Amino acid sequence: MQTSVLLITFLAMGLVAVAFGYVVKRSGTRDEDYSTITRQGYLIRRWWMLALCAVGVLVSAWTLIPFPLQAAINGEARSVDVVAKQWSWEIESRSARVGETVRYRVTAADVNHGFALYGPDDQIVAQTQAMPGYVNELNVTFEQPGVYRVLCLEYCGVAHHAMTAEINVTEGP
Ligand SMILES: [Cu+2]
């Protein structure tokens, strides 16, 4: 992966250098009337700009509508208090059902921690800061059964790596 990225980078740099050299070689101090070319260029630029704006608006709308942090709550969410402290998690309930929405109310007892929830496939599902004096609410709708892991995502001292917990998600009503 790293090697491919390096090769692609060098290739792209080479292409830019060739294009640059070509332009420098072709440039001169000839006096010519460029007005038709300029007019054409401005026309292309205007339409290109409008097309890019349209694409930008469409892509933004398409990707922001299912905004992951504001996952819609279908019906009731169950509140679960979470307190982070050096170096463990105090989680009111360590189980949930598939399809259930849990509202984790996350705070910290000492220093800043990071509450991160990883799914059974080790992909991050949701995360929020755990801060003393604040309660951050994180709505999570569990979509697949299995063992979810809570890891601390904010370096909080020598045993930061040991700040883990498990949440069991099971199928059923
Ligand atoms: Cu921590």
Residues 36-74: pLDDT tens digits?
888 899 999 999 999 999 999 999 999 887 665 555 555
Residues 115-151: pLDDT tens digits?
999 999 999 999 999 999 999 999 898 999 999 999 9
What's the 112 CA to ligand 1 centre distance in angstroms? 7
What's the 166 CA to ligand 1 centre distance in angstroms? 15
Check residue 64 and give left, alpha or beta (phi > 0: left; psi -120 to 50: alpha): alpha
Residues 98-121: pLDDT tens digits?
988 899 999 999 999 999 999 999
What's the 169 CA to ligand 1 centre distance in angstroms? 23
Task: Say if 4 falls within a structural domain.
Answer: no
51 & 100 share domain: no
What's the 124 CA to ligand 1 centre distance in angstroms? 17
Domain of 141 in residue numbering reads as: 69-170
Task: Say if 24 falls within a structural domain.
Answer: no
86 & 49 share domain: no
149 and 118 Cβ atoms separated by less than 8 Å: yes
Check residue 55 and give left, alpha or beta (phi > 0: left; psi -120 to 50: alpha): alpha
- Res 1 pLDDT > 80: no
What's the 13 CA to ligand 1 centre distance in angstroms? 43
For the whole model, what pTM was predicted?
0.60
| Tokens describing residue 158 | 């020598």
What's the 162 CA to ligand 1 centre distance in angstroms? 9
